[in-house]
Amino acid sequence: ALGGGLIRVLGGSVRVKELGKERLEGLEDRGSVAVLAFFHGRQFLLISTFLGRRVSIMSSLSRDGELQARVLSGLGFPIVRGSASRGGARGLIAMKRLMGQGYHGSFAVDGPKGPIHEVKPGAVYLAKKTGAPILPLAASAKPALTFHKAWDRYLLPMPFCRGVVIYGEPMWLDDDLGGDAVDRDCRALQSVLVRLQAEADSAVGRASLRFEV
């Protein structure tokens, strides 16, 4: 309950500018869902913007994932348990089912343990299996706390700070599940997300993390 309250109160205090939101709304107006893809370290602000939307969230089977699942479930989000290392196939099946019921799927694509900004294949597999587009997202805020010792450099916005969420162009993938095709699409998504993240950081005047990924 405490974690959910923090997301509502702190997230609600941030002055968020949403850029490209019409890309998500355009899909919703057509009755379509998307696979929302973002980096693990920027999910706090994104989750607060998901409130009130039909979004299902993938949470890992780790102890941290269990805590996150309880918090987000309390906020009304359908939670799917699984990750790149444990329960992934089962999680994708469950999320595909929820997408069939009109929920967006969502992934922290470099989770649950990194390396930072390295896209795992789950979101790509789900997009190929459902025919839904991937919608890349990036977020930033300033002032904010950065947890430098965390693998994902987690960013926690400060109350009443300035924030930005950027919605990228929908990425429509083919249905080729071969290893080369999946690797290609993961690299393409990674390139887009790194660029969007740099744009989000620039928009609030934050120095962007520079990683060769």
> 41 near 141, Cβ under 8 Å?
no
Q: Is the dihedral of CA 94, 95, 97, 98 positive or negative?
A: positive
Q: Residue 34: what pLDDT?
A: 99
Q: Residue 87: what pLDDT?
A: 64
* Closest alpha carbon to 95 in 110, 84, 106, 109: 106
CATH assignment of 2-148+155-203? Answer: 3.40.1130.10
| Whole-prediction pTM | 0.94
Q: Residue 208: what pLDDT?
A: 72
Q: Residue 207: what pLDDT?
A: 83
Chain centroid, CA 129 distance in Å:
19
In the chain, which residue ranges form alpha helices assigned H by DSSP? 2-13, 21-29, 43-50, 63-74, 88-100, 122-130, 179-203
Q: Residue 4: what pLDDT?
A: 87
> 152 near 116, Cβ under 8 Å?
yes
DSSP 15-48: EEEEESHHHHHHHHHTT---EEEE-GGGHHHHHH
Secondary structure letter of residue 133 according to DSSP:
P
Coil, helix or strand at residue 168 = coil
What are the per-10-residue average pLDDT scores of the chain (213 residues)? Answer: 81 96 98 98 96 94 87 95 76 96 97 95 97 99 96 96 98 97 98 98 86 41
- In angstroms, rounded to a whole number, what is the distance separating the alpha carbons of residues 181 and 143? 40
- In angstroms, rounded to a whole number, what is the distance separating the alpha carbons of residues 117 and 150? 13
Q: Residue 1: what pLDDT?
A: 52
> Could you tell me the two tokens for 93?
């099946």
